[in-house]
Amino acid sequence: MTSTRSVNPLALNLRAVVGRAYPRIIGANREPSWVFFDAILPLLGIAAYVFIYEGFFRAPGADRTFANAMIGFVVLGGTMTAFWMNVLWSMASQLYWEKEMGNLQLYMMAPMSRMALLGGMALGGMFMTSTRAIVTLVAGVFVFGVHFDLANPLMILAVFFATLVALYGMGMMLASLYLLYGREAWHMSALLEEPIFLVSGFYFPIRAIEGVGAWGRAVLFGAAIIPATLGLDALRQLIFPGFFGGKFWLLSVELEFAILVVLCVVFLVLARVSLGYLEMLAKREGRLTSRHQ
């Protein structure tokens, strides 16, 4: 006898969110070596930049305050790097990998919202990456001697979470696009990895790019659509107030926060539209990729 009990759609989608977040929160920490490789090894790259700034800005006659701030910039950039890498490899490419492993058909047939699926991946990714990012911050304070000014903690948290939501919204949108143009997903992720480090100012003040002339200003304009760029610039303003009179900042904190909120909405809407297009392809043509695949 078939049960006729109805299922609450909200409860169903919440269970889908929890189900997709679980592997990233619990499963990713079951293997201790993964925690070591994800949390400790990235410190080596950050340390390289720290030693460069130590040697250059702490030479005789150099401004020590400037050196401390630049090292703090590197530590904050290294923290945001963890989230960008998670968005690029564990969000944008995820649906493509699920297709390669044969799981995507199950996700598409399940009676749940595909946004709930990606939302669970995003929440799990935020938690998993936050534990790694905390290691970077702790190392910055106790190993590299960075001092953070936390005079405005509420605004710092607001900017940080707005940056994360916009970043993972971008990842949700890219997940659909990568699946649609699937074969080159891996190469696209590899292509975007290092250039974003440069144009987003992960290891230096982003305003410095403007010094290369018209090309620098064009790069700044393009980088503004990447949430990590505005988020990092706003966080640095809040944590290192008064740094060289503010001449290295891109925009005011309030304006950057407002843009981040707009990007949150834009990327989430675009993610929903792109997922809807994939579902339409699946129903109408029986495929989830572009015609040339």
Please give the share of the chain, as a percent, with pLDDT higher than 90. 10
Q: What is the distance between the alpha carbons of residues 167 and 161, in angstroms, rounded to a whole number?
A: 10
Q: What pLDDT is recorded for position 182?
A: 65
Any domain includes 119: yes
pLDDT at 284 over 70: yes
| Residue 5, in any domain of the structure | no
Global confidence as pTM = 0.84
Asked whether residue 1 carries a pLDDT value surpassing 60, the answer given is: no
Q: What integer best gives the mean pLDDT of the chain?
A: 79
In this structure, of 74-83, 102-111, 267-276, the range with the lowest mean pLDDT score is 102-111
pLDDT tens digits, 133-182: 888 888 888 888 888 888 888 999 999 999 999 999 888 888 877 777 76
d(CA 77, CA 42): 12
Choice between 248 and 12, residue whose per-residue pLDDT is larger: 12
Question: In total, how many domains does the chain have?
Answer: 1
Q: Output the pLDDT for position 239.
A: 87
Of 285 and 259, the one with more pLDDT:
259
Let me know if residue 22 belongs to a domain. Answer: no
Would 290 be classed as within a structural domain?
no
Which has more confidence, 265 or 84? 265
How confident is residue 2, by pLDDT bands cut at 50, 70 and 90? Answer: very low
The pLDDT of residue 63: 62
| Tens-digit pLDDT profile for residues 21-46 | 888 888 766 777 777 777 777 788 88
Answer whether residue 272 shows pLDDT above 50. yes
Question: How many Cα neighbours within 13 Å face the side chain of 208?
Answer: 12
Percent of the chain with pLDDT over 70: 83
Does any domain span residue 4? no
Domain span at residue 162? Answer: 28-285
> Does residue 252 form part of some domain?
yes
Is 70 within a domain?
A: yes
Domain-located, residue 6: no
Higher pLDDT, 218 or 199: 199
How high is the pLDDT of residue 214?
61
